[in-house]
Chains A and B, each alone.
Chain A
Amino acid sequence: MNPKAASKKRKAVTRDVEEEAGVFSGDELSKGNLDGALSDNSKDLSDSEDDESDSEVELVDDFSDSEDGEEELDSDEIPSDTEEVKPTAGEPNFRIVKDANGNDRYLWDEIHPDDNSELSEVDENANTIGDIPLKFYDEYPHIGYDINGKKIMRPAKGEALDALLDSIEIPKGWTGLTDPKTGKPLNLSQEELELLRKVQMNEVPSEGYDPYEPLVEWFSSEKEIMPLSAAPEPKRRFVPSKHEQKRVMKLVKAIREGRILPYKAPEEREDKEEELINYDLWADEVERPDHVMHIPAPKLPPPGYEESYHPPPEYLPDSKERKAWEQTDPEDREKDFLPNDFGSLRKVPGYDNFVQEKFERCLDLYLAPRVRRSKLNIDPESLLPKLPSPEELKPFPTACATVFRGHKGRVRSVNVDPTGIWLATGGDDGTVRVWELLTGRQLWSAKLSDDEAVNTVRWRPGKDAVVLAATAGDDIFLAVPPHRWGFAASRPAPSASEDGKKNAPPTWIRPEAALVDAGVCVVIPLRYVPKTISWHRRGDYFVTVCSGASTPASVAISIHTVSKHLTQFPFRRRLKGGGPPPDRPLPPLETHPLLVKILQPGARWISSFDIHPTSSSASGGDNIIVGSYDRRLLWHDLDLSQRPYKTLRYHRKAIRAVKFHPSGRYPLFADASDDGSLQIFHGSVTGDMLSNATIVPLKVLKGHKITGELGVLDIDWHPREAWAVSAGADGTCRLWM
């Protein structure tokens, strides 16, 4: 225990010294060791029971003391010097002589080594403190003052002596022992000392063995991919293998017996090619031109500086650019990367979007051929609103039943009489003709004008008196066709005496005799060309419209009263909206006319319109159909909007006339077009405000020949039956039923 503790202590000291000094020499260590090994001082013994911390503290104290001791020693040395000089201190122990240059030269006295004169002298170093206890100076480094007033420093203690001894250079290998064999001082080498120490410390004495080196688990339960076996090579690695020898012997035997032939290089045989046929699929492949639909892959520009891993600094984005790039949406980025400086190709990291892009590419390849256009599996028919089939909507005109031939030139106007037996037509040849509707027999004809076309013919509504109004040129003719073809003549023809009662602008006059014979009773000479006639349903009034551009607005629309032989101009101003007045006015109102509504059909040039027969009655809304020269047929529901409820664009050319079936029994309407065809529509109107009109195209009636770009000019319905009559530019009228 004791030596171990001592050695520990020494070690600790040396270690401390080592730390303090930073440099450690082996000599001092050995000295320390030796010191520890040799010194057997009382303090060590007394402190043997102390723990390490105590000793350490003590050691520190020791050390500081030793330092002090050193200082003291230094200071002692000087006094030691002065001790030697001191004998000459009272009187200068030198002489000042002049040298050759005249300068002062100190000549020091000779020192006599055997001079003991000092010993006899008074001890100048005696403490002069007197009788005070020395412990008063415990706090001070000195213990008193000498006779010269100098501090007498505290003499060094044991530790300080140790330190002094330490500082004294000891020859290498010095033990202070004598080799009994030789009688010389025993000097031990460093190795021997170390060995001794290890033996003493009960350690492994051999050199380089570290009992605490980290364990390398050569053989462990963990399975290494590349086991580093330190297992020694087995012996069999070095002795020849018997098994191998057996095999070799077998081979040798086989070679000997000729079973194994030595390697012979294969000969190049030409005939081998003949035997082996190589089929070259692409032998006679001809380079084909690219397919028409072939699109070569786009040629990309070569990568530039900024795509380099080490771009020039001007290509590198600054922080602002980088931030802007990061903040923009990936879709909107001008380039999909940021130039980056990696310094060397070695430092270029893996592409961070690699997996993502590969995945998307694979997804494209995988899914692209399978992406089907989402074709709707809905039957388009089912999306259409349910329209009744034309078969259910019978009757409607389907075929031409009668052709009325006789007019020379175009037939401009056609009208079926209220009883539905007769048909009146007027044409470019200036005649008005009346026909038997079913048979097509012409019954009556009157030539109203030689050079002007008959623009309009209209029967007076009502069955009691038959009056046919026709316009030719500037004149309106009222005719009562003669009795001999079947009309009752209950209404006396107007006489000339009734004329002139009112001083209305146009005076009703009697026609010339030939026309009177033909049945024409009255001529109303307007000064402008009336284009349309519309009778009031009671048959007492009719209105005419002069739609010529030169017609003054005030006389464009005139109302004629048959019973009074009177003509009036009700509208002072042109109807609002500009342009020519409508081709056909509303039925004249008996009170002062009011502008009720303005429609916006959206058509540029309206050719005709007709009002649904149930309009303004309780059972139906106000519906109007408008035909326009720009090929459109517009259905207006006045309750819905000023805009058309439905636009029917089926004709190839301008629409000339539109007409509702006059009776409420058949919800039919028809239009006549310049393309030579009529179209029949079903248009049922309900009184229910919630349901809109149902419009079903029913039939295209073809038959009229197109003459001079004109096809069908007018159309009319039979008053009761679903029969339509059309007037064509080819000089014929046709009955469709």
Chain B
Amino acid sequence: MSEDLVTAGAAEAAQRQVRVQLISQEEDIALPESTGPILVPTGLRRYALSTLVNNLLSSEKPIPFEFLINGTFLRTSIDEYLVDNGISSETTLEIEYVRALIPPLHIASFQHDDWVSATDVLSTTSPAASWASGATFTKGQERILSGSYDGLLRIWNMSSETIATSPAAADGGHTASIRAAKFVSPNQIASAGLDRTVRLWKYTEGEGGFTGKISPQLELYGHKAGIESLAVHAKSNRLLTGSADNNVGFWSTKKADAPAAPENLLPSSNARNTKRRKLNTSVSTPQRGPLALLSAHTAPVSAAIFDAKDATVGYSASWDHSLRTWDLVTGSLVDTRTTSHSLLSLEHLPELSLLAAGTAARHITLIDPRASATTVAAMTLRGHTNAVVSLARDPHSTYGLISGSHDGTCRIWDIRSTKTDKEGVVGESVYSITRKSLEEEGKSDSKRVGGEGVKVFSVCWDKTVGIVSAGEDKRIQINRGEGVLSSKA
């Protein structure tokens, strides 16, 4: 008799159902509107739900889906979710489904002569191309820019061929390592480095796109120490730099706009060595100064970016633990947010009004820069094992983020993917991308202390090209979630 009860109970549990309403924001995968709430067993997990949606869509090729309930990914069974959140199974659950991120696969690696410190992508979907007013950019001619510690910029096509290399120091190139490089437009490149200069280059490509030329256009002087980061807003022809001299530089890319360079910082003024002076003067490049040097930080500025929506607002992160908001029109400090760790990288998530800052304490902290925000750190993304030095937005999702860290990995984050930690809600990385060079050496299993030899210095995520990361292994590595692209195509 008791057995009967048990089996009856089990059957009841197995048959316990919940009414769900499946919705999607994306048109191409949306269910017909006629589809009302459906009853599903509560024991279902993500995979079963994904199969269910695929069946409903009757798609030929199954698309993996992720399911969001109340803004967080479903990581357990529905039953457990209901229990954890104290929701009655009587209610109708609204479940939003989105395309799941495809694990990014390694596409290619471009070998360099020296550590690669900066990388950027030029493609139809890249910001540089969108800013390009006159210049046309054809699809399939994606270019990858890399800045290296040997002071050279390189332009690569997708076939891992170097199309162009910037001139050496003697010919007007950087005299020290490049730390940041960006496409301003398909024809213009900005780079900055330890030689304390920001240089603007003109990039021209030959016929067929197999040859190119990078020629110096403008040298911007103003920083008294190495420049750590560079941000570009081509529409307003503005640059933001963060430097180790604790200043944020605000520059114009137009020769006409820019003020004259400060005399004492020019190499000719203090170079005692006649030989070097001769070298420097061999190529004459226009030299200009900053529009403004924003000084408030008390430690090296590790990152300075434009607000993604409003180019008159700049954000800077510094080793002095603070994140500062600048009004670039007046060059005044608007707000200061102080965290508890050195900030090494910065990215803006405009849809969420959040700033993601990578710290030396191995995590990413999400900061609401608005004055109304009461809490300093909205969320913490944990998972890296070394300093997070580079951040980039997910071009597909407003919730996505990629980070490059000195631990030799890039991690993809979705801030809806969380878990509850002892410190509260903590973000979990969705995927982790390791360096291909480690696998090639057959040492993928061995853990490198502090990411030695495979440190990632820069990461860039383009919708077309994928995830481009550069690092200490002298490579640029491209990873791409193939499934996503194929579905788009």
Residue of A nearest to B264 (CB): A490
- Identify the stretch in B29-37, B75-83, B372-380, B381-389 within 8 Å (CB) of chain A at 4 or more residues: B381-389
A484 to B170, CA, bound (A): 13
Give the dominant DSSP class at B's interface: loop
Do A419 and B225 touch across chains, with their CB atoms under 8 A apart?
Answer: yes
Within B344-394, the residues touching A (CB, 8 Å) are 344, 360-362, 385-387, 389
Given A420-B300, A484-B195, A488-B245, is A438 in contact with B225 using a C-beta cutoff of 8 Å?
Answer: no
Q: Point out the residue from A399, A421, A488, A493 that lies within 8 Å of B300, measured CB to CB.
A: A421
Do A486 and B194 touch across chains, with their CB atoms under 8 A apart?
Answer: yes
A488 partner residues in chain B, CB cutoff 8 A: 224-225, 245
Do B225 and A721 touch across chains, with their CB atoms under 8 A apart?
Answer: no
Do B149 and A737 touch across chains, with their CB atoms under 8 A apart?
Answer: no
B452 partner residues in chain A, CB cutoff 8 A: 402-403, 405, 440
A484 partner residues in chain B, CB cutoff 8 A: 175-176, 194-195
A505 partner residues in chain B, CB cutoff 8 A: none
What does the 1/0 interface line of B36-50 toward A look like (CB < 8 Å)? 000000000000000
What are 13 inter-chain pairs, A to B, with CB distance below 8 A? A401-B406, A402-B450, A403-B449, A419-B300, A420-B299, A440-B452, A440-B472, A441-B115, A441-B149, A485-B194, A488-B245, A493-B272, A720-B319
A401 to B450, CA, bound (A): 4
B342 partner residues in chain A, CB cutoff 8 A: 721
- The answer, yes or no, to whether B320 is at the interface (CB within 8 Å) is yes
- The answer, yes or no, to whether B455 is at the interface (CB within 8 Å) is yes
B271 partner residues in chain A, CB cutoff 8 A: 483
A401 partner residues in chain B, CB cutoff 8 A: 360, 386-387, 406, 450
Q: Total A-B residue pairs with C-beta atoms closer than 8 Å? A: 90
Residue of A nearest to B114 (CB): A441
A487 to B361, CA, bound (A): 27
Q: Point out the residue from B194, B244, B320, B406 that lies within 8 Å of A402, measured CB to CB.
A: B406
B177 partner residues in chain A, CB cutoff 8 A: 441, 443, 485
- The answer, yes or no, to whether B196 is at the interface (CB within 8 Å) is yes
A401 to B362, CA, bound (A): 10
What does the 1/0 interface line of A396-426 toward B look like (CB < 8 Å)? 0001111101000000000000011100000
B176 partner residues in chain A, CB cutoff 8 A: 484-486
B264 partner residues in chain A, CB cutoff 8 A: 490
A346 to B481, CA, bound (A): 115
- The answer, yes or no, to whether A439 is at the interface (CB within 8 Å) is yes
B245 partner residues in chain A, CB cutoff 8 A: 488
Do A403 and B457 touch across chains, with their CB atoms under 8 A apart?
Answer: no
A483 to B169, CA, bound (A): 14
What does the 1/0 interface line of B175-197 toward A look like (CB < 8 Å)? 11100000000000000001110
Do B387 and A438 touch across chains, with their CB atoms under 8 A apart?
Answer: yes
Q: How far is the CB of B414 from chain A (nearest CB, A)?
A: 26
Q: Point out the residue from B196, B360, B457 that lies within 8 Å of A737, measured CB to CB.
A: B360
A493 partner residues in chain B, CB cutoff 8 A: 272
A485 to B226, CA, bound (A): 7
Within B384-429, the residues touching A (CB, 8 Å) are 385-387, 389, 406
Give the dominant DSSP class at A's interface: loop
- The answer, yes or no, to whether A520 is at the interface (CB within 8 Å) is no
Q: How far is the CB of B332 from chain A (nearest CB, A)?
A: 25
Residue of B nearest to A421 (CB): B244
Within B446-476, the residues touching A (CB, 8 Å) are 449-450, 452, 455, 457, 472
A439 to B471, CA, bound (A): 10
B residues sitting closer than 8 Å to A (CB atoms) are: 115, 149, 175-177, 194-196, 224-226, 244-245, 264, 267, 270-272, 299-300, 319-320, 340-342, 344, 360-362, 385-387, 389, 406, 449-450, 452, 455, 457, 472
A441 partner residues in chain B, CB cutoff 8 A: 115, 149, 177
- The answer, yes or no, to whether A205 is at the interface (CB within 8 Å) is no
Q: How far is the CB of A735 from chain B (nearest CB, A)?
A: 7
Do A395 and B361 touch across chains, with their CB atoms under 8 A apart?
Answer: yes
A734 to B450, CA, bound (A): 9
- The answer, yes or no, to whether A3 is at the interface (CB within 8 Å) is no
- The answer, yes or no, to whether A703 is at the interface (CB within 8 Å) is yes
A723 to B264, CA, bound (A): 34
A737 partner residues in chain B, CB cutoff 8 A: 360-361, 387
- The answer, yes or no, to whether A586 is at the interface (CB within 8 Å) is no
Q: How far is the CB of A414 from chain B (nearest CB, A)?
A: 16
Do A421 and B341 touch across chains, with their CB atoms under 8 A apart?
Answer: no
Do A400 and B449 touch across chains, with their CB atoms under 8 A apart?
Answer: yes
B270 partner residues in chain A, CB cutoff 8 A: 483, 489
**5 extra interchain contacts, Cβ-Cβ under 8 A, other than A403-B452, A419-B300, A441-B149?**
A419-B244, A438-B406, A440-B455, A489-B270, A734-B449
Q: How far is the CB of B54 from chain A (nearest CB, A)?
A: 43
What does the 1/0 interface line of A711-723 toward B look like (CB < 8 Å)? 0000000001101
A420 to B385, CA, bound (A): 21
Q: How far is the CB of B17 from chain A (nearest CB, A)?
A: 45
A420 to B226, CA, bound (A): 13
A485 to B149, CA, bound (A): 11
Do B319 and A721 touch across chains, with their CB atoms under 8 A apart?
Answer: yes
Q: How far is the CB of B336 from chain A (nearest CB, A)?
A: 17
Do B225 and A720 touch across chains, with their CB atoms under 8 A apart?
Answer: no
B450 partner residues in chain A, CB cutoff 8 A: 399-403, 734-735
B194 partner residues in chain A, CB cutoff 8 A: 443, 484-486
Do A486 and B244 touch across chains, with their CB atoms under 8 A apart?
Answer: yes
Do B340 and A395 touch across chains, with their CB atoms under 8 A apart?
Answer: yes
A87 to B449, CA, bound (A): 175
A483 partner residues in chain B, CB cutoff 8 A: 267, 270-271
B362 partner residues in chain A, CB cutoff 8 A: 399
A443 partner residues in chain B, CB cutoff 8 A: 177, 194
A721 partner residues in chain B, CB cutoff 8 A: 319, 342, 360
A400 partner residues in chain B, CB cutoff 8 A: 449-450
Do A438 and B389 touch across chains, with their CB atoms under 8 A apart?
Answer: yes
A401 to B452, CA, bound (A): 8
Do B360 and A439 touch across chains, with their CB atoms under 8 A apart?
Answer: no
A440 to B386, CA, bound (A): 13
A490 to B344, CA, bound (A): 28
B472 partner residues in chain A, CB cutoff 8 A: 439-440
Given A401-B386, A401-B387, is A439 in contact with B455 using a C-beta cutoff of 8 Å?
Answer: yes
A405 to B341, CA, bound (A): 27
A443 to B244, CA, bound (A): 15
B272 partner residues in chain A, CB cutoff 8 A: 493
Do B341 and A420 touch across chains, with their CB atoms under 8 A apart?
Answer: no
Given A403-B450, A489-B270, A720-B320, is A395 in contact with B225 using a C-beta cutoff of 8 Å?
Answer: no
Do B387 and A703 touch across chains, with their CB atoms under 8 A apart?
Answer: no
A737 to B194, CA, bound (A): 23
Q: Point out the residue from A485, A703, A720, A735 that lies within 8 Å of B299, measured CB to CB.
A: A720
Do B457 and A439 touch across chains, with their CB atoms under 8 A apart?
Answer: yes
A438 to B465, CA, bound (A): 29
Residue of A nearest to B226 (CB): A486
A720 partner residues in chain B, CB cutoff 8 A: 299, 319-320
Do B387 and A486 touch across chains, with their CB atoms under 8 A apart?
Answer: no
Residue of A nearest to B302 (CB): A438
Which of A439, A490, A734 is packed against the most chain B CB atoms within 10 Å?
A439
Which of A395, A400, A401, A483 is packed against the most chain B CB atoms within 10 Å?
A401
Residue of B nearest to A737 (CB): B360
Q: How far is the CB of B151 from chain A (nearest CB, A)?
A: 9
What does the 1/0 interface line of A695-737 toward B look like (CB < 8 Å)? 0000000010000000000000000110100000000001101
Given A421-B244, A737-B387, is A486 in contact with B196 using a C-beta cutoff of 8 Å?
Answer: yes
Residue of B nearest to A517 (CB): B273
A734 to B361, CA, bound (A): 16
Q: How far is the CB of A186 from chain B (nearest CB, A)?
A: 136
B387 partner residues in chain A, CB cutoff 8 A: 401, 438, 737
A484 to B244, CA, bound (A): 14
Do A703 and B361 touch across chains, with their CB atoms under 8 A apart?
Answer: no
Residue of B nearest to A402 (CB): B450
